[in-house]
Amino acid sequence: MATPDFIRTLRASAGHQLLWLPGVTAIVFDDAGRVLLGRRTDTRKWSVIGGIPEPGEQPADCAVREVFEETGVRCLPERVVLVQALQPVTYGNGDVCQYMDITFRCRAVGGEARVNDDESLDVGWFAVDALPALNEFALSRIKQAMAEEPTWFEPATLG
């Protein structure tokens, strides 16, 4: 995931300290029920599509933008799948971020899957019973997007 300019500006004054950031994940299905995946440049592994909203950008608009920028596919968000605070991550340069992920189930409405920027090595549609190796983050979101359950979130604890 390329670092947005507004985060580079924040880092100039915040250094490596923890930044709490929004994140958006798009689980995109085509009419055949296949899911859209990209093989990331940074990890060389297959993953779902996602990114960071620009300041003031609506999360659903971010999902649409990220999917098109990375894959050339046009999509329409259908529903929120889950909302989850992720564990902090420390990047190789020492930057620490923690994301509030909002995952959308999306439907492809146009375009053709292709590598569309420098964030992906490969892009493709996969049948859900023939997925490449994926981490638990991606697998759980695909599973939840396929379910007809309401939005998933961590249950609140009584304190």
Degrees (nearest 5) of the Cα angle 134, 131, 27?
Answer: 75
**Does the pLDDT value for residue 2 go beyond 80?**
no
Measured in whole angstroms, how far is the alpha carbon of residue 147 from the centre of its chain? 18
Fold of 16-147: Nucleoside Triphosphate Pyrophosphohydrolase (3.90.79)
Q: Please tell me the number of Cα atoms within 13 Å of 95 on its side-chain side.
A: 15
Which residues is 107 bridged to in the sheet? 29, 76
Residue pointed to by tokens 């605070």:
85
Closest listed residue to residue 99, CA positions, set 154, 17, 22, 3: 22
Q: Can you tell me the distance from the alpha carbon of 46 to that of 101, in angstroms, rounded to the nearest whole number?
A: 18
In tens, the pLDDT along 109-141 reads: 999 999 999 889 999 999 999 999 999 999 999
Phi (first) and psi of residue 158, to 5 degrees: -80, 130
In tens, the pLDDT along 138-151 reads: 999 999 999 988 78
> What is the percent of the chain with per-residue pLDDT over 90, rounded to a whole number?
82
Q: For residue 49, what are the contacts with CB-CB under 8 A and spacing of at least 6?
A: 25, 26, 28, 36, 37, 38, 66, 67, 70, 71
**Does the pLDDT value for residue 159 go beyond 80?**
no
> What is the percent of the chain with per-residue pLDDT over 70, rounded to a whole number?
99
In tens, the pLDDT along 53-111 reads: 999 999 999 999 999 999 999 999 999 999 999 999 999 999 999 999 999 999 999 99
Confirm whether pTM is higher than 0.85.
Answer: yes
